[in-house]
Each structure stands twice: as structure tokens, then as C-alpha cells.
A and B are shown apart, each in its own frame.
Chain A
Amino acid sequence: MTTVHERVDTFHDNDQKPVGYGRMLRKEDPRFLRGRGRYVDDVQLPGMLHLAILRSPVAHARIVSIDTSAAEASPGVKAVVTGAMLAQQNLAWMPTLSNDVQAVLATDKVRFQGQEVAFVVAEDRYAARDALELIDVEYDVLDPVIDARRALESDAPLIRDDLDGKTNNHCFDWETGDEAATEAVFARADVVVSQDLVYPRVHPAPMETCGAVADYDAVDGKLRLWSTTQAPHAHRTLYAIVAGLPEHKIQVISPDIGGGFGNKVPIYPGYVCAIVASIVTGKPVKWMEDRSENLISTGFARDYIMRGEIAATRDGRILGIRTNVLADHGAFNGTAAPVKYPAGFFGVFTGSYDIEAAYCKMTAVYTNKAPGGVAYACSFRITEAVYLVERIVDCLADELGMDPAELRLKNFIQPEQFPYTTKTGWVYDSGNYEPTMRLAMEMAGYDELRREQAEKRARGELMGIGIAFFTEAVGAGPRKDMDILGLGMADGCELRVHPTGKAVVRLSVQSQGQGHETTFAQIVAEEIGIPPADIEVLHGDTDNTPFGLGTYGSRSTPVSGAAAALVARKVRDKARIIASGMLEVSVADLEWERGAFHVAGDPGRSVTIQDIALRAHGAGDLPEGIEGGLEAQICYNPSNLTYPHGAYICVVDIDPGTAQVTVRRFIAVDDCGTRINPMIIEGQVHGGLTDGVGMALMEMIAFDEDGNCLGASLMDYLIPTSLEVPDWETGFTVTPSPHHPIGAKGVGESATVGSPPAIVNAVIDALKPFGVRHADMPLTPSRVWDAMRGQARPPI
């Protein structure tokens, strides 16, 4: 349920479908609602075998020996493969998305609990799984490094002895901003506040786990791979590079995907194992990991230990922000981010504020934990950045005794300052922050809430109001700056109008629930006037779609959305020329009105886009120099990122006896520029807000001191349900992006980015009577109770 601030007309399917932008039901939903979606695990091929992976039970150990003989003799088993066997083909290691390497199957050591050690291929899933228990691995257990703070101590065990010359667990250093200038503003500031913050390791935990069906045809040399990937084209190119298969002989198919959240960006060892297994056995091979495997071995998110510092004048003018980060990257650096951005887009930690100086120093380390560091609905580490700035701004408000809303309003970048270059070098394209903030405050009834809070405090009740204001950087990205392993982050798009005026648009991005089949049809419809129902959206199959980098980091609308609009304009330009021939007037005398050209000053003389399509394919001459057909293709290279923003206000109540937090209200005002389908936007926001409740209040992938993962099932790793969330109250403002063809900014991750600090700020606000200034996530009842007694401690 939701309360939409600006009441939008309710609509009925079938009658009021917009031709272009507007609220309409999702075209893909009938398939999902009727159980007719087709996911990787639904793929059944004749003679298909099943693969199961043996994983390390310990976090750090040398492999002494592996005996596979009993497993090989087990009924139904077709092959048992170890790292040593892969090494013979030079396939034991593969590159990660961050120019590191990762073991496909361990050869020398295991480096995290759950690491892939061997695999079995058998006639069915049960036989494969049973045979795993018969593989005998002898481990020589080593001390693990679990706490990132210990990783760089001189006596810490060395994790990456596979890397030549490596003598410690250092992964990389990174800095941004101006250290000296920042030092100078801190030195002259009236007030400096500093706060240690931990953003714990969390997991995307999509409903569908990762998996693949590999089908290698030895006769034509073609590999078909159905896999759970958010980036089918990038994966295909990487397989070509890793496995040495020619790229035109690889078809990656990403069918319906049951949630990604960044979890399905990397290439996992399991995919490679499935490919190897199909080549070895000559049969199609399916690998689907189970829930525990997904939680313990695939890409996590966050795991940043941060110190935030903020400098301001006594009257609340923010001068500078400084931060020091220790980043835990696990056993292999598998971060999915453009290569020049090892810390992703963390550089936007200066937030929405016009400040004088900023500086960040980051050290990243290896630990004996699962590798990754994925986008996870965080637009490349912006989640961490926004949490940092929005938490320390609240700490500053507390120090100054100022209302946190007022402090933010006082420091916003002003509308006339856009495009605004931040002190860390990001060029915010557009923004108008104050109206967004004011709308959220008005929807919340902010002053009234503060009055209620004062009354409740007087009665000993605990109520908190938390604010977060975020600016995101999404839509990676300009290819001069941004690439993943050398692949520029531009997106192709193809549009073909059929003779009867129906159309097909082919995208390089792949939906994992974002509603692309509707949104992209609407983008094309808006430009060319063909109803969305008449536009087929194809995606997810590399043989049938143009190249592009995939869906993550809220990039589909900013990048592929622009491509779709521009390709449609290209088709419209051609249609105009054909129309001029049909109407026997010059091109300049034609006026476009969505769906048809008419002669200027004579609306009666017109041809529709459908008429033109038929003409383009039909008999009779076309204007001079015009080829038949009505289609175009494009590759869009964004000139900048887009910068959505939003104002979130959260109201919590805390039971003073049990310390349980209830999120009573949540007001989310988002500005993602031009709004294509408001219903889909709201859906994205609802999902992200729910995600935020999870991270703020319950989610954490914890480890014990031996490196055992304590979040290996959904009984241990909690994700929120509808019972933990309030009725979301959403609203919006519209500040279009100036450089995006339709002014749209992307909204997939906004709510995940913005909600955790709003919720944490609300909890801390509620705990003010106890003198609490900070407590780290996850704010479970036990941890809130600690904070109430002055014993808040970091979760790691």
C-alpha cells in the first residue's frame, strides 16, 4: 500500500494505456503472476546432467590431497573435477571484474569458507549432491584473517600467496579530494565532529539463486549458456577471453531473472564449472546453487569500516568533510566497478552540500571471507558514501543543537550552482534540493511530529524522527572514464518497425524485475507514437541484441533509456522523409504530432507511423536515397552520469522495555528527473525502502573468529517482510537531467541508498534521552538495548 502525494489518476488496464509516459500496468506481469516466467532453473534440455560443487568447510587451509575415487564410483556420476585438473587446461584461475584473479577451483589453498574445491557431474541433482560427501579432502588448516583491522598487522597470516611477491594482505590504497585544503578548513573550523561508523557486510540475497545451463555443441563448436546474469554481453566477452572460445561461438542467454541487486553482475566459478563440465561430458549441464551457497560464496556488499569527520562554523555552515575507510574485500577482489574506480563512486561522500574542502583516504585489504563487493543496489558504493555523510551531518546537528532539517537546508547546493563540481571532482548535472526537502517535510508534518515527540519524551516514550537527503551518481558511464575490464560502458539499441506498424526494440541491458519490457516500450512509444502494447522489447540474449554493459548501478534508464529514445528519433527522422514523399511536400513542411506527420497548416493531410511503416516495406518508390525498411541502431555513450536526489523522513517508535524498533512512517520524496512510468518508479522505491529496513535493522553477514559464516541460511540472515515495513508514503519532484535525451535519471537504487541513514538517524534520535550519539547497524533489539545503556559497540 502506498500514499502517493500528488494523487495520480487510478487507471484500468486496457483502456487508458498511455502512448508514451504514464502509469500503466507492466507488460511482463501476466507472465510472472501466472507462473509462466522462464528462469534458468526452468531450462530442461535432452540428456542434461547436473552439477554440484564441493565447498571448503574452513576459511583458510592448505589443500594436502583430494581423493575423488569413491565419488567417481557413486551411482549416476559422470565426472568429478578438481582444481588440479582445471590447472592442466589453464582454467583453475580466472580474472575478476577488478583485475584481480579468483580461483575457479582451489588448487593450492582455500581462502574462505564456502570456496569452490571440486565439482561432480551426475545424472540428477541428488546423485551429484550425494557424491560430494564421498570426496575426501585433506586440509592443513591455517590461521584465518577475519577482522579487517588485523589484516595489515605484520604477523597476520598471508592470504594471497598466489600473487607474485605478495608479502601482506594489502589490496589497494585510494584517495580523493585535497588533503591539505581539507586540513586547513578543519584547522579554522569552530566545530569538528568525528564519528566511527561501520557499514556491515550484507548480502543481496535475491529470491533466485545463481545458476547456469551450459550446452556445448562439439560439432558446430557453439556454446549456449543460460545463466543468471545482469550483464549478458559483458559475460560473453569475458568467457571468450577466459576460456579462449571464439566470441561468435558463444551465446549467453539471460532469461527471466529472479532478482539481482548486483549479485548477478560477477562471473562466478560455478558458471565456468558448468561450461567446463559440458565440454568434458559432451552434454548440457545445469548448475543451480542452493540458498546457503548463494549466501556464503557469492558477491556481498559493503563491509566498510569508516571514520567520518565534519567541520563547520558555530552557526551551522559546513566547511569540510573528511573520511578514512578500511575496506574489506574478502579473499579475492571481485568488486564490480569501473576499473578506474576501485572504491566505486564512494567519492560522492560530500553529499548534497556546498562545502569548501573534502578528502578521503581508503585502504582495502584481503581477508578470509567470501570475495565480491558488488553493486548491490548501491550504485557502486554510493550507499556507503550517503550513509557516511548523512550520519555525520546528524552528529553535527546534535553537536550544534540544531534541527537536522534546518542544518541540511542551510547547506544545500543551490539550484543556480548546477552543473556543480564537487570537491572530489564529480559534476552534478542538475538539482533543486530545497523543494524536495520541503515537500518531504510537508508530507511528514515535520513540525507536528517534533511536537508529538516532545510530548512523548516527557512521558518517557521513545519516538525518533530521522532525515536523510541523498544525491546519487548513476548511469555509468562515459566511456572515456568508465570501463569494466576494458569494455566501455556505452549501450547499443536497435529498433525495427514491422510493415504493419508494430515494432521490436532490442536492448543490451537485462531486467531482473525492473520492468524493462514496459518502460522501454513506453520510451519508444513517447518518441514514435506506436502504443507500448505494439512494441516488443527483447533483451537478455547476446545473439539477438546489441552489445552493452548490462543492468546495475541504476544505469538502464540513464544509458539504455537514452539509447532507446535516440534510436526512436532516428527512425522518426527516416519516417519523416518517407512521409514527405507520401504527402508530396517537403520535409520542412511536416509537423509531428505523436504517431503521425501532417502538413503544416493542414492537419487533415497526414500519414500515421503505421502508414509510413507499410510504405517503407511496400511497393512503390521511396524518396531519393532512402532504403526500404524502417529501422535504426545506435550506441549511446553518456556524456556524464546523472544525479538523482531525494529527501527521506522516517519515524520510529522504540519499546523502552524490549528495545524493539518499529518503523511507524516513512516518507520518500524522490527526484529522478523525467518520470516514465510512475507505478514502476514507486515499485522500485518500495523495494529499496524495504531493503533499507533490512540493512538498518536486521541484516548482516557475520563470521565467527574461525571464519565460519553465521549467515548461511535465511533463518540466520534475516531479510525483512511486509510485516516490518509501514505503508510507504511516496512523493516526487522533477528536475530533469540536462544532458540526457529525455531528462531521466534512473531510480533503481535511490531508496536503498537513502533509507538506511534515515532509519538509523531516527533510531538515534529516539535514543537521545539516553545520550546516544551513534550506534551501528544492524539495530537489532539487543544492539539497541546496548545503546540505551551506553554500551553501543560496533558489530565487527
Chain B
Amino acid sequence: MQVPAPFEYERATSVDHAISLLERLGGTARLIAGGHSLLPMMKLRLANFDYLIDINDLHGELGYVEAGPDEVRIGALTRHRELLESPVLAAAFPIFADAERVIADPVVRNRGTLGGSLCQADPSEDLSAVCTTLDARCVIRGPGGAERVVSMEDFHVGPYETAVADDEILVEIRLPVRPGCGSAYAKVERRAGDWAVVSAGAAVWLDGGAIVDARVGLAAVGPNTTGIPAISAALRGQEPSESLYEQAGAIAADSCDPVTDQRGSADYKRHLAAELTRRTLRRAVERARS
């Protein structure tokens, strides 16, 4: 059994309570949501914190998927499993179920949360790629109830670093809803439940036959999950076609920055960036049409 260093632990009773504890304890404290990223690091003693503030009792307040006219809003404490099974997401953004089916295993999915995934800011995090693809907005609340909304680009500051300050908490993710949308996700992993060698998400918005907008998000190919504006630019206004997907794939391969590691060589990952971009765009277009 791997055992963490000593820490103190408190359960937050409300979001404001959690924030007041963070305010008081500063950088030596961490929120704990599903704990599936935080606890392994603490047990391996790669991270030590003096205080853990458990926000799991806030699931009533922060665990939801709600469809509005212009956006879908998801509470930060919504669990992987709830995302997987959400009818709202299945209708609006099937990319979520695609991704959730290949994230970890049922045990982890029962506990791990959307907020924890984004705040962990691991460059391989699948939900970060999903949120990047869908152009998500992150709602961050701080002392005194002050809220600010940041884009995914601004949210991820670097590997394992986010825009969330020591005394703040991510409370909600907002996904803009536009007509004619199709989305898909694909991941290559060495084994079920492993982190991605590379994964890609794609979303397209069609009007008539043409692409109004398109977005691709990649995981595990650079310091952060990356949205690729050049792909959006190349696809806008075009009719979907195999050669267009080829072109998008080539842009994806060019614009990512993978490293060679145990999961695969940089060349292979670049190849996958192209291959998975093609596959997910093809799928997203099929879904947008149906």
C-alpha cells in the first residue's frame, strides 16, 4: 500500500465555505473532487498538501447537466458516469459519450469529475480535449461570490496549471449550442483504461451542405490540449469531403508538438493526430447530417 504524507482534511458544506477555507489556507490546501488524479499523486508523494478540502458533499449544488436555449451548462462536480449517461449530452454533443466510454474504467468514472479533469490540466486529459473542441467557457468563482468566465484557451495556462487561483473554484462549464452540430471523439490507447497515446475530438456545424464552423481538439500531443484554429479556418465555408479531411489531418499533424515516450514515438503520435482528425471529422459530419 502506498501511503501519502500527513494532511488535514475537512468537508466543505457549501461552495462559499470551500472558498473561505481556500482563502484561509492558501497554497498548502487543495480541493478534492473525485480524487482520482490527486490521490495517486499524493500516494506516490509526487505532491504533498497540508490540507484537503473535500467538495463531494456539494454534488447537489455542483452536479448537473442542464440544457438551455443557447448553451448546455454542466456543474463542475458532475461525474464521468453522469456525463456518459446524460440524455442531454447524447442529443447535443455525442462527443461526450464517445470520450467517456474510453476514459479510465467504471470505478474511476463513478467518482472522477469534469471539474477535476479540467483542473488537473494534464495534457492527456480527454475531457479537456472535448471541452476545447466544443469551445467551452469555464465559470470560476472566488471570494465574495465573484464569478469570472474564461475560455478553454485561457483556462489552461500550462501543463498542470490553470487560471483558477488558490482561493477560487471552478463551478461550471458552459457549452455554446449552435444549430447543425455534429461531434465525435476518438482515442488510441495501448490498453483499455490507459491514458491516450493521442486522442482527437471534432465538432462541425453545417448549414445546408456547407461547413459553417469546425473545431478540432487534440490531447497528449503537446503541453496542453490544443484547439487548432488553422483547421477551423481551412474548413469554414467548405463542403465536407475526404480531401478536406486530409487537409485538416495534415494541419493537425503540423500544428502539434508530441514527444517520444513509452506510449509511442513523436512521429507516430503526429501520424495519429492526422489519422484521428480525419476520422473524427468524418464522423462528426455524418452525425451533423443525420
**A interface, CB within 8 angstroms of B:** 125-126, 129-130, 133, 288, 290-292, 657-660, 697-698, 702, 710, 713, 715-716, 718, 720-721, 723-724, 780-782, 785-786
> In the complex, which of the residues B6, B197, B262, B275 contacts A716, with contact meaning CB atoms closer than 8 Å?
B262
- Measured CB to CB, the nearest residue on chain A to B271 is A785
Instruction: Assess the A290–B2 pair: CB atoms within 8 A.
Output: yes
A288 to B2, CA, bound (A): 10
Instruction: Assess the B5–A781 pair: CB atoms within 8 A.
Output: no
Instruction: Assess the B275–A657 pair: CB atoms within 8 A.
Output: yes
A782 and B197 contact, Cβ closer than 8 Å, known pairs A126-B3, A129-B3: yes
- In the complex, how many angstroms separate the beta carbon of A75 from the nearest chain B beta carbon? 10
- Measured CB to CB, the nearest residue on chain B to A291 is B2
A292 to B276, CA, bound (A): 33
**Does residue B233 face the partner (Cβ distance < 8 Å to A)?**
no
- Measured CB to CB, the nearest residue on chain B to A712 is B44
CB neighbours (8 Å) of B264 from chain A are 780-782, 785
**Which residues of B in the span 24-61 have a Cβ within 8 Å of any Cβ on A?**
40, 44-45
A660-B188, A781-B190 are known; give 11 further A-B pairs, CB within 8 A. Answer: A125-B3, A126-B3, A126-B6, A130-B6, A658-B272, A698-B191, A715-B40, A715-B195, A716-B262, A781-B268, A782-B265
A657 and B268 contact, Cβ closer than 8 Å, known pairs A125-B1, A698-B191: no
**Which residues of B in the span 138-168 have a Cβ within 8 Å of any Cβ on A?**
none
Instruction: Assess the B192–A782 pair: CB atoms within 8 A.
Output: no
By Cβ-Cβ distance, the 4 closest A-B pairs, closest first, are: A782-B264, A723-B192, A782-B268, A290-B2
A721 and B262 contact, Cβ closer than 8 Å, known pairs A292-B44, A786-B268: no
CB neighbours (8 Å) of A710 from chain B are 262
A702 and B262 contact, Cβ closer than 8 Å, known pairs A720-B191, A785-B271: yes
Instruction: Assess the B194–A718 pair: CB atoms within 8 A.
Output: yes
**Does residue B287 face the partner (Cβ distance < 8 Å to A)?**
no
CB neighbours (8 Å) of B45 from chain A are 133
**Does residue B73 face the partner (Cβ distance < 8 Å to A)?**
no
- In the complex, how many angstroms separate the beta carbon of B193 from the nearest chain A beta carbon? 7
CB neighbours (8 Å) of B195 from chain A are 715
> In the complex, which of the residues A130, A290, A658, A786 contacts B5, with contact meaning CB atoms closer than 8 Å?
A130
**Does residue B279 face the partner (Cβ distance < 8 Å to A)?**
yes
* Residue of A660, A697, A710, A780 with most chain B CB atoms under a 10 A cut-off: A780
A292 and B2 contact, Cβ closer than 8 Å, known pairs A658-B272, A660-B188: yes
CB neighbours (8 Å) of B190 from chain A are 697-698, 718, 780-781
A713 and B44 contact, Cβ closer than 8 Å, known pairs A658-B272, A658-B275, A781-B188: yes
A698 to B193, CA, bound (A): 13
A715 to B262, CA, bound (A): 11
* Residue of A658, A721, A786 with most chain B CB atoms under a 10 A cut-off: A658
**Does residue B111 face the partner (Cβ distance < 8 Å to A)?**
no
CB neighbours (8 Å) of B265 from chain A are 782, 786
**Does residue B11 face the partner (Cβ distance < 8 Å to A)?**
no
Instruction: Assess the A718–B191 pair: CB atoms within 8 A.
Output: yes
- In the complex, how many angstroms separate the beta carbon of A701 from the nearest chain B beta carbon? 11
- In the complex, how many angstroms separate the beta carbon of A15 from the nearest chain B beta carbon? 36
A660 to B1, CA, bound (A): 33
**Does residue B263 face the partner (Cβ distance < 8 Å to A)?**
yes
- Measured CB to CB, the nearest residue on chain A to B264 is A782
A288 and B272 contact, Cβ closer than 8 Å, known pairs A716-B262, A724-B191, A782-B197: no
Instruction: Assess the B193–A721 pair: CB atoms within 8 A.
Output: yes
CB neighbours (8 Å) of B6 from chain A are 126, 130
A785 to B195, CA, bound (A): 19
- In the complex, how many angstroms separate the beta carbon of A527 from the nearest chain B beta carbon? 44
CB neighbours (8 Å) of A720 from chain B are 191
CB neighbours (8 Å) of A660 from chain B are 188
A384 to B103, CA, bound (A): 35
CB neighbours (8 Å) of A129 from chain B are 3
Instruction: Assess the B188–A658 pair: CB atoms within 8 A.
Output: yes
CB neighbours (8 Å) of B44 from chain A are 292, 713
Instruction: Assess the B268–A785 pair: CB atoms within 8 A.
Output: yes
CB neighbours (8 Å) of B276 from chain A are 658
A443 to B232, CA, bound (A): 52
- Measured CB to CB, the nearest residue on chain B to A129 is B3
CB neighbours (8 Å) of A292 from chain B are 2, 44
- Measured CB to CB, the nearest residue on chain A to B263 is A782
Instruction: Assess the B197–A781 pair: CB atoms within 8 A.
Output: yes
Mask: chain B, 1-26; 1 = CB below 8 Å from A; 0 = not: 11101100000000000000000000
Mask: chain B, 108-122; 1 = CB below 8 Å from A; 0 = not: 000000000000000
**Which residues of B in the span 51-80 have a Cβ within 8 Å of any Cβ on A?**
none
**Which residues of B in the span 241-290 have a Cβ within 8 Å of any Cβ on A?**
262-265, 268-269, 271-272, 275-276, 279
Mask: chain B, 185-205; 1 = CB below 8 Å from A; 0 = not: 000101111110100000000
CB neighbours (8 Å) of A658 from chain B are 188, 272, 275-276
- Measured CB to CB, the nearest residue on chain B to A657 is B275
**Which residues of B in the span 210-245 have a Cβ within 8 Å of any Cβ on A?**
none
CB neighbours (8 Å) of A718 from chain B are 190-191, 194
- In the complex, how many angstroms separate the beta carbon of A120 from the nearest chain B beta carbon? 13
Can you pick out 15 interface pairs between chain A and chain B where the beta carbons lie within 8 Å of each other?
A125-B1, A292-B44, A658-B188, A659-B268, A660-B188, A715-B194, A718-B190, A718-B194, A723-B191, A724-B191, A724-B192, A781-B197, A781-B264, A782-B263, A782-B265
A130 to B6, CA, bound (A): 8
- In the complex, how many angstroms separate the beta carbon of A522 from the nearest chain B beta carbon? 36
> In the complex, which of the residues B1, B188, B263, B275 contacts A290, with contact meaning CB atoms closer than 8 Å?
B1
CB neighbours (8 Å) of B193 from chain A are 721, 723
A668 to B263, CA, bound (A): 30
- In the complex, how many angstroms separate the beta carbon of B135 from the nearest chain A beta carbon? 27
Instruction: Assess the B191–A657 pair: CB atoms within 8 A.
Output: no
A720 to B242, CA, bound (A): 35
A209 to B268, CA, bound (A): 35
A463 to B242, CA, bound (A): 25
A720 to B190, CA, bound (A): 10
